[in-house]
Structure 1
Amino acid sequence: MVKRIILVTGPARSGKSEWAELLAQQSGKPVIYLATSRLDPDDSEWQERIDRHRQRRQASWRTQEVPVALTAALLQGTTSDNPSCLLVDSLGTWVANLLAEDDPSWSAIVEELMESLKGLKQGTVIFVAEETGWGVIPAYPMGRSFRDRLGDVVRRLGAIADPVYLVTGGHAVNLSAIGSVLPPTKTQED
């Protein structure tokens, strides 16, 4: 059996989720959609976004809501005898759900995620991640923490994923085909 980790990243409304869904469909494997959002019945606009994502999914796909327990869901979804394609949408929402964690706890959560991916023996995992930090540095600490945490996770996943796609302006660019992986930062080596 073969494992495959794919990262699809890009700005808001660029088409990254649709691209990831197409890749999952093309995998030929049963798809498990790992939704990281939290439902909020008081936020009708958020519910509309979730509904649009649901309507695009294949009827045969299984959906699991995992706003926090992402690593456990990945491990569970990749241990069956019938390898699946797990589509994680999205890492930005997952990071936002865990912003209250202090730095040591957050580091442990990320390490657990990375170790679980290194240990995968089979299946495909497709991550959808928002790109942040292409603009102004957030003026408030929580915004900076979100940007830094998400940027770190995306970089670390980008180092082990193949391929890595950047989706922008409705176009998917295979960064693995035209780019080079940067060496880990000092903090990633520790």
Structure 2
Amino acid sequence: MGDLIFLTGPVRSGKSRRAVDLAMGFGDAVVFVATYRRDPADAEMAERVRRHQAERPATWRTLEAPASIAAALAALDPPPSGVVIDSLVLWLADRFDQDEAALDAWSRELEAFRAMPCPVVVIGDEIGWSPVPMEPALRRFRDLAGFLGQRTAAAATEAWLMVAGCPVRLK
């Protein structure tokens, strides 16, 4: 079984760069799982996606927003030598209306990631470090993201907090 590595931190803390650096040591068949479902009307997000793509080696395969990440990875031939999943919060955003079902689905994904024969890096986001949002939906999203982060860290063999580009080992 491979390692499950969780990288979390605030926006622009260096999580994606750190994930790419780690995955460079995983071999030639790394798979990048993009959990964002593209919105062609969002030019700013398209530019973010383009910048992230430019940071990755051109030889990496990309899976875009699969319904089941683990099932999509298991179907790949050749199998991946390592996986980077970016990001947990974008994965949640696509399932925000599912609450408990999303928590259960992520738990099943984590079990499958832990059983993979290659390392898996999951990128999360610490979105609860600000004032309590005034909108109930934003509070619910923040809470769900926090619960998913806790589950991921508990399942991970390593957990890291990225702050200002510096990795701080949590476990």
Same fold (TM over 0.5): yes
* CA positional deviation for 1:29: 4.9
Indicate the structure (1 or 2) with the bigger Cα radius of gyration: 1
Which residue is 1:182 aligned to? none
Matched, 1:48 2:47: yes
- State the secondary structure of the residue aligned to 2:152: helix
| Structure 1 contact 31–61 (Cα < 8 Å) conserved | yes
Cα displacement (A) at 1:117? 3.1
CA separation of 1:107 and 1:162: change in aligned 2, threshold 3 A:
closer
Out of 136, 144, 160, the position equivalent to 1:149 is: 144
**What aligned pairs does 1:34-183 form with structure 2 within 5 A after superposition?**
34-66=33-65, 68-76=67-75, 83-101=80-98, 103-118=99-114, 120-176=115-171
Structure 1 position 25, deviation (Å): 0.4
Query: What residue in structure 2 maps to residue 9 of structure 1?
Result: 8
Letter in structure 2 aligned against 1:19:
R
Measure, in 2, the Cα distance between the counterparts of 1:92 and 1:82. Answer: 25
Would you say how many aligned residue pairs link Structure 1 and Structure 2? Answer: 171
- What secondary structure does 2:124 align onto? strand
SS at match of 1:108: helix
CA distance in 2, matches of 1:29, 1:5: 18
Rounded to whole Å, the distance in 2 between the matches of 1:160 and 1:104 is 18
Q: How far off is 1:115 after superposition?
A: 2.9
Helix, strand or coil at the partner of 1:123: coil
Matched-pair contact (CA < 8 Å) for 1:66–1:73: no
Task: Give a deviation string over 1:76-116, Cα, whole Å, max 9, x none.
Answer: 45xx6755201000111111111022x34223312322332
CA contact (8 A) 1:91 1:129 kept: yes
Deviations along 1:134-187, one digit per CA (max 9) or x if unpaired, are: 1111211221121111111111111121221111111111222xxxxxxxxxxx
Aligned residues: CA RMSD: 1.9
Moved more, 140-149 or 52-61: 140-149
Q: How far has the Cα of 1:15 moved from its partner?
A: 0.7
Q: Against the structure 1 CA distance between its residues 10 and 97, is the aligned structure 2 distance closer, same or farther, given a 3 Å change threshold?
A: same
SS in 1 for 2:103: helix
Shifted more, 163-172 versus 17-26: the winner is 163-172
- Runs of at least 5 residues in structure 2 that lack an aligned partner in the other structure: none
Letter in 1 for 2:54: Q
Contact 1:68 1:98 in 2 (8 A): no
2:6 maps to a residue whose letter is L
